[in-house]
Structure 1
């Protein structure tokens, strides 16, 4: 399943990221924040508007907001 499909409050591990689906600068920023293969994450919050953007992700002690398109490029497994 992709990260954008992960239910709210559930934990997961990133299995793979389709870096080619992301703009190079965005991919670099996500990697710098630790959103790469093997990272343990959880969905903390989803946007309230039609597209449900952005998605707040908890990684370690940090919360990061990502676009739904970025989350769709990340394959995860629920823990």
Structure 2
């Protein structure tokens, strides 16, 4: 199973590690059935990293009540 979380500065984390090319290739080898999902997450990562910082806010703008969340949104 894959789980992804956006992190600081637009980085995408999958299963606890930054989604680098090396990690993506390893995931594709370990779980070939999810290769298309890894590719889709890489595309999301690229889009996030290429977007201006002001566009990196969460879609939950104004409704986040997580006390551990320290990012403005």
Which structure: greater helix fraction? 2
TM range (shorter): under 0.3
> Which is higher, the Rg of structure 1 or of structure 2?
2
More strand by percentage: 1
